[in-house]
Structure 1
Amino acid sequence: MRKKRGLFFKNPVFVSGMLGFAGIILFSVGCAAPNAQKRIAAFSTALSIATTNTTDAFETVDQKFYCTKVALLVNNYDEKGFNPNTEMHFLAGQDLETREQLFKGLQRYAQKLADIISDTRMKEFDAETKAFGKSLQKLRENDAFKNINSGASQANINAFVTAVDVVGCFFIDYKREKGVREIVADMKQPIESICNTLVSDIGQPMDKAGAGGFGLRNQSWIQYEVMLKEHISYIDHHKDKFDPVTKAEAIARLPAIVEEQYKADLTLKATQDALKKLRMTHDELVKAFDKTCPTLENLIAELIDEGKRIGKFYKSLAKE
């Protein structure tokens, strides 16, 4: 039997075939890793754009709220004067900071996936990352965090709290025991829950009867309604004092406010859609190691392209 085995492995045709097969396997593995690394890095970029736009959405609505309050102050100052205790912002500092911390958590999660796949020597995260994970978990202790999902069912609230806790644990407890594919699979539900909560947080505008609105989109819609009303009042109070050019400019501002109202709402909806697509893209991320994954690559490309368009609108409003 030994003699036959020796002859068997000395067979040049067999040895050549085995080496060729091994070469194919090594080539496939070698190609998969760089492709996966590239795809995960692209996902990190797409996620960063989506979460940055979501941050801008909240900051933009808050800034418009402030502008509306200033317009009210100007129009009513002679009768009511100025009360320094008037709330001039829609979101308190902690409300914005809490959401920004959540967005940073998502961004850092995606970046760490890219780091893990690119650095095979990484055994655990650094102290700063672990500290960030702990700060993420502590968000549950503040009222601003509770307000994010206040209108949801108790089951959804619990799922959201658990999801943020899981992301925090990822930063704190990570050890190189699982590959990126396994990590992404484990994080599927937490990322879905966080994205769903943020979509709900943006909400929807009221209907024509003035009912059914909630969240950021509703607040944005109301602000433009108030802004329009105040601008009409401003024109009515000063129309006899305006010169023709100033009067024309003031009147021309009215349809511009209405147009901006619709554009702002469409952009907020697009921000919601991007968060939904982000959730779908993360679900597909387990396929990053496949030889081909057109769905994942298309979703990432769409997220980046749409994100850039959304970002331009928020930047244009910030300049006003």
Structure 2
Amino acid sequence: MRKKRGLFFKNPVFVSGILGFAGIILFSAGCAAPNAQKRIADFSTALSIATTNTTDAFETVDQKFYCTRVALLVNNYDEKGFNPNTEMHFLTGQDLESREQLFKGLQRYAQKLADIMSDTQMKEFDAETKAFGKSLQKLRENDAFKNINSGASQTNIDAFTTAVDVVGRFFIDYKREKGVREIVADMKQPIESICNTLVSDIGQPMDKAGAGGFGLRNQSWIQYEVMLKEHISFIDHHKDKFDPVTKAEAIAKLPAIVEEQYKADLTLKATQDTLRKLRMTHNELVKAFDKTCPTLENLIAELIDEGKRVGKFYKSLAKE
């Protein structure tokens, strides 16, 4: 008996199944999101700029604190001399290192998303990345880590600690069982918590009555107030000894200190705004796989542009 050719392809159910399966293959191959890899890579770039600026924010305020302490020492040396036990820094080395480790964790998270998108052969992370994840999880044991936004409620502190632990676990446990879209969805709450904590850690300056200030912005504002006061005192004590040019230069520095105080605070506020936008951008990152996602692309572009602008100010302060 001869077999009837084409029997199966005349079956509408079979044909429908074949077409459906082919559609799944095409979708999995990325036809629905030809620009997803570029969007994830651009997000990684934007996040790197944002976290670098946040690192610079803490280092800049600490450096200005040191300069203020030096000014106090110079003005009061004749009466008080120098006490080698005087605290010359607002943040200890461990305070800065803990925050820097956290920022590196965010940077590496975004970079790994880009790596997963670009390297189809990667089954799991390398040993060095897993070791980094373990070191990130150990931050909770560091007293300096506990100083990050220490004024927050216990609920927020616990959420932040858990979030950092989740990011660390991502580096340790990752195996290619989930796609980037699923990873981003799982990391939504941890990234939100970390960004919110960093915004709060930067804080706000005191009001005109001298109340309500906390965090990095408040410390920065106070330092410029002290710096201004000490410079006025320096001029008053030496104005009779200044030649006209030196005296004019010293006086001209007074409004410059005030101007820099406002610029520094606006830049710290801009750093907070960037962290908020970073949180929003990560929330939108699941749309990287859509054919069009103008909101995500606009947020990434804005993050990069604003990050570069904020970075220029920190660089200008570092040169002074």
Band the TM-score falls in, shorter-chain normalisation: over 0.9
Counterpart Cα distance in 2 of 1:236 and 1:141: 49
Change (3 A) 1:21 1:102: closer
Per-residue deviation, 1:309: 0.2
Q: Is the 8 A contact 2:33 2:290 kept in 1?
A: no
**Residue 38 (structure 2) aligns with:** 38
Q: Is the 8 A contact 2:188 2:283 kept in 1?
A: yes
Per-residue deviation, 1:150: 1.2
Change (3 A) 1:13 1:102: closer
**Cα deviation 1:129-159 (Å, max 9, x = unaligned):** 0000000000000111111031111110110
Counterpart Cα distance in 1 of 2:169 and 2:21: 42
Counterpart Cα distance in 1 of 2:279 and 2:168: 18
**Residue 252 (structure 1) aligns with:** 252
Q: What is the aligned-residue identity percentage?
A: 94
Moved more, 30-39 or 133-142: 30-39
Counterpart Cα distance in 2 of 1:102 and 1:27: 36
Per-residue deviation, 1:26: 3.5
Counterpart Cα distance in 2 of 1:11 and 1:142: 67
Change (3 A) 1:61 1:165: same
Larger fraction in helix? 1
**Cα deviation 1:244-263 (Å, max 9, x = unaligned):** 11110100000000000000
Gaps of 5+ in 1: none
Q: Is the 8 A contact 2:33 2:291 kept in 1?
A: no
**Residue 276 (structure 1) aligns with:** 276
Counterpart Cα distance in 2 of 1:4 and 1:198: 71
Per-residue deviation, 1:208: 0.1
Counterpart Cα distance in 1 of 2:5 and 2:238: 104
Change (3 A) 1:256 1:185: same
**Residue 288 (structure 1) aligns with:** 288
Per-residue deviation, 1:42: 0.2
SS at match of 1:310: helix
Give the root-mean-square deviation of aligned CA atoms.
2.9
TM-score (norm 1): 0.93
**Residue 63 (structure 1) aligns with:** 63
Counterpart Cα distance in 2 of 1:271 and 1:130: 30
Counterpart Cα distance in 2 of 1:290 and 1:208: 48
Per-residue deviation, 1:37: 0.5
**Cα deviation 1:4-57 (Å, max 9, x = unaligned):** 993784799999999899699838954445411100000000000000000000
Change (3 A) 1:280 1:12: closer
Aligned residues: 320
Per-residue deviation, 1:225: 0.1
**Cα deviation 1:110-136 (Å, max 9, x = unaligned):** 000001111111111000000000000
TM-score (norm 2): 0.93
Counterpart Cα distance in 1 of 2:278 and 2:146: 23
**Residue 110 (structure 1) aligns with:** 110
Moved more, 86-95 or 33-42: 33-42
Counterpart Cα distance in 1 of 2:255 and 2:183: 50
